[in-house]
A = this chain, B = another copy of it.
């Protein structure tokens, strides 16, 4: 391949892998690699199977190496070679590529070295959409979560010392020192309860009961904190996503800024690919839609009508009879704003002028369709 062609191929690869950060190919490679790694640890039925598995693993490694090199080159071309190499992403890419060879170099056996292929899983992380939201919750609630962790450690140490004191003479094999008692305490406090180490004295069991109930308490606090943080974060996230789109819909332009904030809280954004069916004729309708971007096609008897950016549809099922009267599908990638029946009612009540606009449009359409 000539150099410009190669460069073009590289550029395309980078675009493909940068956009959603991981092409589907990369996902499949990760899955195949980890599966091969898992199977490699089982005594293989034949040498053949073993060689095949190792072959798959080397192929995956080759793919990740190629991907890494492409990214380095791309970063260097835009003058950010070093920043990429020392960024979290760059270090991760490097680790995925270098871990297994490094293991082999320092003398680990084939099987042991390939265990490090489990690191490839981490490449999936940036592609998970909701993870950023989870991280925000964890960051915002750091304080209370840290407090709960301190309580957890406190109960852990106090409980294990107490149980060690009561059980050490009766069960020297399992409660012979505090580290062993700590193992018991962590198994108990998380309510896992393997049963490999169990107190048998009366006082030891009383301490154990307190530790178990504390376990429920700690867990309850933990959950309570996360639930609270998550509720706030969800509300915020939805508002942000919707706000951008609302301003694209001329229908809402007549509203003052305060009413727009109000409306934004009511709407929900959904992204749809082309040719997705939004409304199916004959179904019960419980929401209407505004088109923030893209286009939809209404499949009326005898003709097809296209609605573009800023238009709305689905309001007829909310106003008159409950059943959808036509199939509606997207024609290209579209972003829609969904207004639930509940909020439709509230909107009509709080902003009667919007209600009239929708009403008039619905009546006009009904006439037209007759």
Residues of chain A at the chain B interface (Cβ within 8 Å)? 34, 37-38, 41-43, 112, 115, 118, 121-122, 124-125, 128-131, 133-134, 143-144, 146-148, 150-154, 157-158, 161, 164-165, 176-179, 182-183, 186-188, 190-196, 198, 202, 205, 208-209, 212-213, 215-231, 234, 236, 239-240, 243, 256-258, 260-261, 264, 286, 340-342, 345-346, 348-350, 352
Contacts and interface: CB of A to CB of B under 8 A. Distances in A.
Given A144-B133, A342-B240, A165 B112 contact: yes
B190 A213 contact: yes
Contacts of A221: 134, 226, 230
Given A38-B178, A224-B226, A225-B227, 16 more contacts: A34-B157, A41-B177, A118-B157, A124-B150, A125-B150, A133-B143, A133-B147, A179-B202, A187-B212, A192-B215, A194-B198, A196-B198, A220-B225, A224-B228, A224-B230, A261-B349
A153 B264 CA distance: 35
Nearest to A161: B118
Contacts of A209: 183, 186
Contacts of A239: 342
A176 B216 CA distance: 28
Contacts of A191: 190-193
A180 to B, nearest CB: 9
A124 B151 CA distance: 10
Contacts of A223: 219-220, 223-224, 226-227
Contacts of A205: 183
A348 B188 contact: no
A240 B341 contact: yes
A340 B236 contact: yes
Q: How many copies does the complex hold?
A: 4
A278 to B, nearest CB: 15
A34 B218 CA distance: 22
A277 to B, nearest CB: 16
A188 B17 CA distance: 36
Contacts of A144: 130, 133-134, 230, 234
B286 A178 contact: no
B231 A228 contact: yes
B216 A222 contact: yes
A221 B258 CA distance: 34
Contacts of A134: 144, 147-148, 151, 221
Contact of A231 (B219, B231, B348): B231
B143 A129 contact: yes
B345 A261 contact: yes
A139 to B, nearest CB: 11
A146 B22 CA distance: 17
Contacts of A38: 177-179, 182
A310 B243 CA distance: 29
10 contacts: A41-B177, A115-B165, A125-B154, A134-B147, A221-B230, A223-B223, A224-B227, A225-B227, A227-B227, A257-B345
